[in-house]
Amino acid sequence: MRIVVILKQVPDLVEEFEVNQDGSDIDREYLTLLLNEFDNHALEEALLIKDATGAGVDVVGLDDSGIDQSLYSALAKGADRAIKLTGLDTSSGWVDTHARAAMFAGWLRGETFDLVLTGVQAADDLDGQLAPILGSMLDLAQVSVVVGVHVADVHVADGVSAEQEFAGGVVATLAVTTPAVIGVQAARQPPRYVPIAKIRQVQQAGGIEQVAIAAPSVGAGLAVRRMYSPEQTSHAEMLTGSDAEVAEKMIELIRSRGLLK
Amino acid sequence: MVNDVVVIAEHAGGALTDTTFELLGKARQLADDWGGQAIAVLVGDAALATQLGAAGLVVTVDGPGFVEYTSDSYLDAVMAAIGDRAPRLVMLSTTTAGLDLAGAMSVRWDAPLVSSVVAVVAEGDAVVATSQIYGGKIMAECVITADRALVAVIAGSFPSGAGHRDGAPDVEALVPSAQGAARVVFRSRAEPAAGDVDITAVDVLVAVGRGIGSKDDIELVQEFAEAIGAPVAASRPVVDAGWLPKTRQVGKSGLKVKPRAYIMFGISGAPEHLEGMRDAELIIACNTDAKAPIFDVAHYGTTVDLFDLLPELTEKAGG
Ligand SMILES: Cc1cc2nc3c(=O)[nH]c(=O)nc-3n(C[C@H](O)[C@H](O)[C@H](O)COP(=O)(O)OP(=O)(O)OC[C@H]3O[C@@H](n4cnc5c(N)ncnc54)[C@H](O)[C@@H]3O)c2cc1C
């Protein structure tokens, strides 16, 4: 079995976001980029399948700034190959999901694989999520919001079983014909940790393969007219003072409502 | 171009979902602006069509293959329902089914899609959809001038009232054409296990998010919660990390709670979390990021570090 995991980096959401001068994108000058947390779960799920069955795991990303770091880290965690697709100019910043998906579809059409796993969503998915868009471009079965993929299920002859999560934590178990594209919400267990020293080691050995793909001619078909920080229509009343004073005010808010047991 | 607006209806446990009515109310308004009609597409459980009175037309697709939702067969069904109707706009929610279907439809139907939408307006012939991205920190106003468009809307963005209307919409029952073997087959469903405490049934909840940083420090939150006699709830990452059980998760894929007080530490306020708690009577948020989206929803807030605040709170609550 061969599993392809698609990775992308997104800005660290804890940081402050500014909109650029013409309001067309966020200001990317000082952003810290991190692996999309849901992609990290997709990678973990693939590695769990590898641990159990010996499946091959390839990680792939577009040639975005910073992606090498995520690819090397995946190799250090146990991925077999890392591939970077070049050909799409990502230097100006945000690239829509449809263009990304078209790049991955362009590569996957020439590859043999059983599963494509990627994060259920990313923080900058303005024009939709990668898994369903890519799945449809390749005309493969696709399932989103998955919280577990099992390959050694006796009930599924030519596929895998996947657990899809719905509102309120209801989970449906599905038989999915492979090859399939799956959007992972959470791996069966928390993503594994890999020491920095090990990533450095892998990095020194190199080993990211580059594959050139023709840039797609179609895009998302929408124009971003304006980006802005949400107007604070209503804002919390901020409690001020020393730590002890803030704590006192909070307790008082609860106590005054008769809610302190 | 036909100026109709299609809503992909959703149902669970034999009832239409709230988001279906939220979309339908908005669809009627947009269809009125454009001089078209609101059309609901209902796959499975065709009997629910009578409750979609706010639509001018309900297209149903039902049969043995549609008893349970699966991405593959429902996608075929909604595409068949749209057929050559050529609506101006198709609306879905960012639910599980919505996430499956919206992206797939945008490819199959060759239509631009805006996701995580919180507002939609008609501007002449164009659709202007505002998307909330980067965890709720940035709004992106998108203009679609193509003759067709899709939006996936965050739950709670529109009032559901306008979608609840008595009426006798025309119903068109579509007989699905014989399909090949389904690539996604439903096997079974599991409800979440009941927990030791029911966080939906208490007056006060103390909630903890990823800002707590480690499993060991959950104890700090637990001590305060104990001091005020409240259980501890959590955001999804805390549950995914295995720091607290799933039965404590608040939000879209967790539980919806409406306590009299919801006191939260280190939670950013992502739309998926807000979906589960925004109706709490009193919301107090502690977050070191003054720009965290949670402060747009909370009634009271503080940017004091939770590690400094919690010990003070525990002490004062105990005293
Ligand atoms: C389909 C789907 C369903 C989902 N369902 C849910 C759901 O049911 N529930 C849910 O919660 N999420 C859900 N999510 C995830 C959601 O998108 C967010 O990722 C999640 O809510 C973020 O959790 P958080 O606020 O704890 O973490 P973060 O967004 O990482 O926020 C942590 C916050 O802690 C603050 N902080 C850090 N250190 C401190 C400190 N020392 N003192 C005070 N504050 C500090 C930071 O400023 C930051 O704002 C879902 C996602 C998807 C795609």
Q: Does A245 touch chain B if contact means CB atoms closer than 8 Å?
A: no
**What pLDDT sits at residue B278?**
94
**What pLDDT sits at residue A260?**
86
Using the beta-carbon criterion (under 8 Å), do B103 and A173 form an inter-chain contact? no
**What pLDDT sits at residue A137?**
97
pLDDT band at A30 (very low <50, low <70, confident <90, very high): confident
Listing DSSP states for B55-109 in one string gives SSEEEEE-SGGGSS--HHHHHHHHHHHHTT---SEEEEESSHHHHHHHHHHHHHT
The fraction of chain B above a pLDDT of 70, given in percent, is 98
pLDDT band at A153 (very low <50, low <70, confident <90, very high): low
Residue A233 has pLDDT above 80, yes or no: no
Using the beta-carbon criterion (under 8 Å), do A221 and B146 form an inter-chain contact? yes
Domain at A74, CATH number: 3.40.50.620
The beta-carbon neighbor of B317 closest among A128, A174, A260 is A260
Using the beta-carbon criterion (under 8 Å), do A171 and B114 form an inter-chain contact? no
pLDDT in tens, B156-173: 999 999 999 888 899 999
pLDDT band at B113 (very low <50, low <70, confident <90, very high): very high
Residue A27 domain-assigned (yes or no): yes
Interacting residues of A204 by C-beta distance below 8 A, sequence separation 6+: none
**What pLDDT sits at residue A156?**
57
Using the beta-carbon criterion (under 8 Å), do A236 and B268 form an inter-chain contact? no
CA B251 to chain centre: 9
pLDDT band at B93 (very low <50, low <70, confident <90, very high): very high
- Least confident range of A20-29, A59-68, A93-102, B196-205: A20-29
Residue A40 has pLDDT above 90, yes or no: yes
* Structure tokens that stand for A174 in this block: 């599905």
Interacting residues of B265 by C-beta distance below 8 A, sequence separation 6+: B206, B207, B208, B209, B211, B212, B221, B286, B287, B306, B309, B310
Ranges of each domain in chain B:
5-174, 199-316
Whole-Å CA distances, B160 to A39, B27, B126, B192, B319: 34, 11, 24, 27, 45
User: Which H or E run includes B31?
Assistant: helix B18-34
The fraction of chain A above a pLDDT of 70, given in percent, is 97
Q: Residue A147, exposed/middle/buried by CB under 10 A (0-12, 13-18, 19+)? A: buried
Distance between CA atoms of residues A68 and A58, nearest Å: 14
How far A130 CA lies from chain B's nearest CA (Å)?
8
Distance between CA atoms of residues A186 and B239, nearest Å: 10
* Structure tokens that stand for A136 in this block: 């449809």
Using the beta-carbon criterion (under 8 Å), do B299 and A175 form an inter-chain contact? no
Vertex B60: Cα angle to B57 and B62 (nearest 5): 170
ipTM of this complex: 0.94
B104-133 as b/e: b if 16+ CB within 10 A? bbbbbbebbbbbbbbbbebeeebbbbbbbb
Long-range contacts of A153-160 (CB under 8 A, 24+ apart): A155/B187, A160/A114, A160/A115
The answer to whether residues B9 and B20 touch, using CB atoms and an 8 Å cutoff, is: yes
The answer to whether residues B154 and B60 touch, using CB atoms and an 8 Å cutoff, is: no
Vertex B239: Cα angle to B117 and B311 (nearest 5): 105
pLDDT in tens, B234-262: 999 999 999 999 999 999 999 999 999 99
Using the beta-carbon criterion (under 8 Å), do A250 and B293 form an inter-chain contact? no
Q: Does A129 touch chain B if contact means CB atoms closer than 8 Å?
A: yes
Residue B147 has pLDDT above 70, yes or no: yes
pLDDT in tens, A165-218: 999 889 999 999 999 999 999 999 999 999 999 999 999 998 899 999 999 887
Sequence letter at residue A7: L
Residue B180 has pLDDT above 80, yes or no: no
Vertex B271: Cα angle to A90 and A70 (nearest 5): 35
* Structure tokens that stand for B9 in this block: 């209806």
Total of domains in chain A: 1
Query: Is the beta carbon of B248 within 6 A of some atom in ligand 1?
Result: no
Helix axes A97-108, A130-137, angle to 10 degrees: 40
Query: Is the beta carbon of B267 within 6 A of some atom in ligand 1?
Result: yes
How far A248 CA lies from chain B's nearest CA (Å)?
7
Pick from B105, B137, B243, B267 the residue to mutate for testing the A interface (most A CBs within 10 Å): B137
A100-114 as b/e: b if 16+ CB within 10 A? bbbbbbbbbeeeebb
* Structure tokens that stand for A81 in this block: 């190959």
Query: Is the beta carbon of A122 within 6 A of some atom in ligand 1?
Result: no
The beta-carbon neighbor of B313 closest among A14, A164, A251 is A251
pTM value? 0.94
Query: Is the beta carbon of A259 within 6 A of some atom in ligand 1?
Result: no
Query: Is the beta carbon of B163 within 6 A of some atom in ligand 1?
Result: no
Interacting residues of B255 by C-beta distance below 8 A, sequence separation 6+: A168, A169, B199, B200, B247, B249, B276
CA of B236 to the centre of ligand 1 (A): 7
Residue A228 domain-assigned (yes or no): no
How far A125 CA lies from chain B's nearest CA (Å)?
7
Does domain B199-316 sit in CATH 3.40.50.1220?
yes
Sheet holding A159-165, edge to edge: A208-212, A81-86, A56-62, A2-6, A115-119, A180-184, A141-150, A159-165, A171-177, B184-190
Using the beta-carbon criterion (under 8 Å), do A136 and B107 form an inter-chain contact? yes
Residue A220 has pLDDT above 90, yes or no: no
Cβ contacts (< 8 Å) between B188 and chain A: which residues? 172-173
pLDDT in tens, B33-77: 999 999 999 999 999 999 999 999 999 999 988 999 999 999 999
Query: Is the beta carbon of B207 within 6 A of some atom in ligand 1?
Result: no
Cβ contacts (< 8 Å) between A170 and chain B: which residues? 12, 189-192
Which of B272, B277, B284 to mutate to test ligand 1, by most ligand atoms within 8 A of the CB atom?
A: B272
Residue ranges of A 189-228 with Cβ closer than 8 A to chain B: 189-190, 220-228
Using the beta-carbon criterion (under 8 Å), do A238 and B309 form an inter-chain contact? no
Mean pLDDT computed over B116-144: 95
Residue A222 domain-assigned (yes or no): no
Which residues sit opposite B143 in a β-bridge? A223, B128
How far A247 CA lies from chain B's nearest CA (Å)?
5
A-B CB pairs within 8 A amount to 286
Look at the block and give the residue holding tokens 């073997």.
B181
Residue ranges of A 172-191 with Cβ closer than 8 A to chain B: 172-177, 180, 183, 185-186, 189-190
Task: Return the CATH superfamily for domain B5-174.
Answer: HUPs (3.40.50.620)
Distance between CA atoms of residues B99 and B153, nearest Å: 10
Distance between CA atoms of residues B44 and B63, nearest Å: 7
